[in-house]
Amino acid sequence: MAQKTIMLVCSAGMSTSLLVTKMQKAAEEQGVDTDIFAVSSSEADTQLENKDVDVLLLGPQVRFMKNDYEKKLAPKGIPIDVINMSDYGMMNGENVLQQALSLINE
């Protein structure tokens, strides 16, 4: 399986960095080749221009941005969703990884 690039966006990029670590660990345990990274909402557009992203996940605190990103990403065919609030709160990297992978494979 080719490497999957998963981008997480939150307001400052800080809270999702712990989630990224947990998602990377889960991916490693499952033998899934991933590039998972978190950015602040202010950096997201630049990252999308400079990097091939397979899926974008929004932190619950920036879910209001979903419609804007759907419009930007639809022409590129990049799926987007909001991270489940309880998975985010519990920092459940395995569940969030599965959410991302299922969006990529739809």
Residues annotated catalytic, as ranges:
10
Phi, psi dihedral angles at 9 (to 5 degrees): -125, 130
* C-beta of residue 8 within 8 angstroms of C-beta of residue 16: yes
CA dihedral 88→91→97→103, nearest 10 degrees, is 0
The DSSP letter of residue 4 is E
